[in-house]
């Protein structure tokens, strides 16, 4: 029964328990055992000084870097090593410097559908056109040569390439730090559109050093300090 004072919490979209990563050369912790819950609709910002381990954490959470220990639980189910490919399609990592193939924008967008992990999905041009509409780009943008795009446009294409595949969680590792203010806001607009299309069933985790951006894109704040993660849930328990 839900009483007046009881806290109703949505089930975790992704839960990490004791997730850690060590420097393979000397065995020192790059990420100390970390616990966290990410829920549908969360917009988490991860703060911390340069070199504190934010990227290590997020890359480990994305299973792009192998954890040394710990467990990941996606929608209540423990993630097994054999699930890594499918997991990475759901928990998508976007980096600061986008990498595109030397073909048209649309060629870049259709490419993921050649991969085995997406064999049950089909390229949906209308869906892409709706995304383009949200960021005021004409459909002719799809005909542009990927190699001639500006850095901001490349980042938008990278995002479109990922968002069209319906991930449930976006891990954003300073995706706008090389972009001017207005292009950065276009990236934010595209991600917000994706959140709304998915009726807040998805979540984002942003690494950003920009205080104004953090205020715009975040509703939860986590901190990284010397490889030690503090979430808004664990903050009160640590000294």
Contacts with ligand ATP, residue ranges (CB under 6 A): 23, 30, 48, 50-56
Dihedral sign of CA atoms 155, 136, 209, 220 in order: negative
Distance (Å, rounded) from C-alpha 49 to C-alpha 195? 28
Q: Which of residues 41 and 70 has its CB atom nearest to ligand ATP in the complex?
A: 70
Q: How many CA atoms within 13 Å lie on the side-chain side of 74?
A: 19
Q: How far is the CB of 68 from ligand ATP (least distance, A)?
A: 12
- Give kind and range of the element (H or E) at residue 207: strand 203-207
CB contact at 8 A, 37 and 229? no
Q: How far is the CB of 3 from ligand ATP (least distance, A)?
A: 41
Distance (Å, rounded) from C-alpha 13 to C-alpha 40? 6
Q: Which of residues 53 and 152 has its CB atom nearest to ligand ATP in the complex?
A: 53
Q: How far is the CB of 97 from ligand ATP (least distance, A)?
A: 12
Q: How far is the CB of 188 from ligand ATP (least distance, A)?
A: 19
Q: Which of residues 51 and 138 has its CB atom nearest to ligand ATP in the complex?
A: 51
């Amino acid at each position: 029964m839900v009483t007046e004072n009881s806290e109703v919490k949505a089930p975790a979209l992704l839960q990490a328990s004791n997730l850690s990563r060590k420097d393979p050369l000397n065995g020192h912790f790059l990420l100390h055992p970390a616990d966290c819950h990410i829920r549908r609709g969360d917009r988490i910002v991860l703060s911390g000084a340069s070199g504190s381990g934010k990227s290590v954490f997020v890359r480990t959470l994305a299973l792009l870097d192998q954890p040394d220990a710990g467990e990941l639980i996606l929608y209540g189910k423990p993630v097994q090593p054999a699930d890594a490919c499918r997991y990475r399609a759901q928990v998508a990592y976007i980096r600061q410097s986008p990498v595109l193939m030397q073909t048209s924008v649309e060629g870049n967008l259709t490419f993921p559908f050649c991969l085995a992990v997406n064999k049950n999905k089909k390229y949906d041009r209308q869906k892409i056109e709706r995304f383009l509409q949200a960021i005021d780009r004409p459909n002719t943008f799809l005909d542009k040569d990927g190699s001639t795009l500006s850095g901001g446009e490349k980042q938008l294409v990278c995002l479109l390439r990922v968002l069209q595949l319906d991930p449930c969680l976006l891990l954003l590792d300073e995706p706008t730090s090389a972009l001017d203010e207005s292009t950065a806001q276009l990236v934010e607009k595209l991600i917000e559109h994706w959140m709304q299309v998915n009726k807040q069933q998805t979540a984002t985790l942003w690494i950003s050093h920009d205080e104004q951006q953090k205020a715009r894109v975040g509703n939860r704040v986590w901190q990284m300090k010397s490889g030690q993660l503090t979430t808004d849930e664990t903050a009160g328990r640590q000294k």
